[in-house]
Structure 1
């Protein structure tokens, strides 16, 4: 059954908006070529989108044709303002951007455990308010929040997790109430994987697993081009993965005997000490080489082999502070060791976005939410 004229207009408008988002400013002729629509249909949709305040003339292009210059149309970037938050156990970083995701202002603030729940929430919200004001954003449309811990798949809320600050759970409702914006919270590792999938080391990959290696360890799973959260929201909690070499087993209340005990930051520092090295984990991984890096790669490959054997993702991206610090050298070592542990082929790459991955992923989530609403009929 053919679409009704109104449905066809909606489909055409959203297609044109997505092209303007992905390709940048385009002429009517370029829109015609990319959409396959007729010239009158493109003229109508451009007029419609201009009338709705979503599209405007942003310049001219005359290089492709003789005669008068062709108008370039682009999305009205300041139609909505967005925010992204990277919430860590002891700090928060905020970024304010326009509808196209162009950064306008950014700030960070340490928030220690001594602050208390109420004051910590107030400091984080106030930081975002100041940053939005600096960016000239009178109102935020959508806010993406990346935080450690599990997200309840039924409610979309951050679960109460042992070892994480209580202010994390209070922050999301405080942001929505005070700023009257849509707030989306997601696990930090999942957001980092979303960013690597669209902007970084996993571009063009439908299947991959991001290994987050930092103070804690975790993973995000992409299969068939989609993020997989699992039935309880816990897909990728590889810190609890039982592995050889820890001398113990993890439990429902702690991952000390799991993969975390091999590859977490504290374990990396202890491994370095056994090799006569002393420094912070990130510095060690960035600057060390030889036997220490070989031993670390051996440990990471043990966890990677278990994941590859079950999921066969074809690609492992090493992210988090330690994965990014290790770069291509650590990735190559893990790849070589992994090839000896499993017959299933898997490429290993370092993160391309590094410390920015969570913030970039949170901004993508906020932008997608805003555009889905604004671009709807």
Structure 2
């Protein structure tokens, strides 16, 4: 093969991927719309569409411009059942799985209640299989499963180091689940997946650097710097629940139990907040209910909310003085309500105590952010496999290493074919 022929093949592959990514982003488009959005010539777009039709990646989906003057245009969209991915979340009492087509369209979801002695790995397999069956998805077309889990996932081995909520989990589970499903599997920390979802489609969209803090029964953090998740040498980056606060004395950590007396979780976890609420006369079943009741009480709830702001701000301030993320997104049951009702007060308190003043926002993901992030992460890898890799993102190594979520997309500019002048993409 000549150098010119090789370059032409690479250029076509890059432009095909650009067009497929646009169809993911915008849905079905006409030939002229693709030419307009890519800056490619209409003859080049016509050849591109023919290639993608022959490859079974796109199909004609209808006619656009009906009712307007001029000829109607054929619309082309992705073949959504060309491939599937699965996202799953494992909690102490439930396993949930969702199946999604290659274009991102959810097919079905299944949830299975767990008991302490259950084989959770088997239940993950059962949930994925049940969701696929419910949605009519062919498991032979499944191109990967991403499982969100509490605890630490080793970035080198891809195995779970420890998960306080899942004491039976440990090494070897990823390979076991891969054999159970006969498909690639990757574990990922649940808070990292929530951050990926917020970055792509939520409160941190357009922000390359931010911190996400999850407040609930457990407390955790994900940190994204310059568009990449920070995992740490052993996967423990973001375990903010163990952050030493209070009198400055370091209490002994008990990772296997997920406890750390005197840490941030002892101040701002749901159990601690319920106790604080009771001290102020707001005895409610959940911490979020107590916060909402205090907010509705006006002056009567001010003392409790002031104390809560002080506690949460201590953890946020510690993060901001180290990494200055600019934006802090609060998620989790308690985090959402704190961000919604107390976000401005938290930002002011941190700004008064440190040299930086972050913006504080509540999560804006509808539904389950962990599942959303798991699906987005699985789709990144599947699209690189099915559509072809982007220019700047290496193919994932499912078999040995966990794939770091790709949060930066390659340039949208098309690569000109031989003899074709490059054109700026029209907005």
TM-score (norm 1): 0.92
Q: Given the alignment, which residue of 240, 243, 246 partners 1:241?
A: 243
Q: 1:245 and 1:332, CA in 2 relative to 1: closer, same or farther beyond 3 A?
A: farther
Contact 1:263 1:299 in 2 (8 A): yes
8 Å contact 1:262–1:299 — kept in the other structure? yes
Match of 2:213 among 199, 211, 215: 211
* 1:333-369 Cα deviation digits (max 9, x unpaired): 2122112111212100011126611010001011111
Residue of structure 1 in register with 2:123 after alignment: 123
Q: How many pairs are equivalent?
A: 374
Q: Is it true that 1:276 corresponds to 2:281 in the alignment?
A: yes
Alignment of 1:191-202 (within 5 A): 191-202=193-204
Matches within 5 A, 1:331-346: 331-346=343-358
Long gaps (5+) in structure 2:
296-301, 390-427
Tell me what 2:89 maps to.
Answer: 86
Q: SS of the residue aligned with 1:122?
A: helix
Among 72, 77, 82, the residue aligned to 2:75: 72
Which stretches of structure 1, 4 residues or more, deviate above 4 A after TM superposition?
63-66, 167-171, 245-248
Contact kept, 8 Å, 1:89 with 1:165, in 2: the verdict is: no
Give the structure 1 partner of residue 409 of structure 2: none
How is 1:1-377 mapped onto 2 (pairs within 5 angstroms)? 4-62=7-65, 66-113=69-116, 115-116=117-118, 118=119, 120-139=120-139, 140-162=142-164, 164-167=166-169, 172-244=174-246, 249=251, 251=253, 253=255, 254-279=259-284, 280-289=286-295, 290-353=302-365, 356-376=368-388
Q: Secondary structure at the match of 1:251?
A: coil
Task: Classify the secondary structure of the residue corresponding to 1:97.
Answer: strand
Q: Which range is displaced more, 336-345 or 218-227? A: 336-345
Q: Provide the rounded CA distance (Å) in 1 between the counterparts of 2:24 and 2:356.
A: 38
Q: Deviations over 1:44-78 (max 9, x none)?
A: 11110111111111111126975431111111111
Distance in 2 (CA, whole Å) between partners of 1:355 and 1:67 is 42
* Whole-angstrom CA distance in 1 between matches of 2:291 and 2:85: 35
Distance 2:366 2:278 in 1: 25
Contact 1:308 1:346 in 2 (8 A): yes
For the aligned residue pairs, the C-alpha RMSD in angstroms reads: 2.2
Write the distance in 1 (CA, Å) between the matches of 2:131 and 2:234. Answer: 35
Contact 1:206 1:225 in 2 (8 A): yes
Instruction: Give the conservation status (yes or no) of the 8 Å contact 1:309–1:342.
Output: yes
Distance 1:329 1:30 in 2: 43
Shift of residue 246, structure 1, vs aligned partner: 8.2
Matched-pair contact (CA < 8 Å) for 1:320–1:355: no
Mapped to 1, the partners of 2:132 and 2:124 lie a distance apart of 13
Question: Residues 24 and 104 of structure 2 are in contact (CA less than 8 Å); yes or no, is this contact kept in structure 1?
Answer: no
SS at match of 2:282: coil
Higher relative contact order structure (alpha carbons within 8 Å, sequence separation ≥ 6): 2
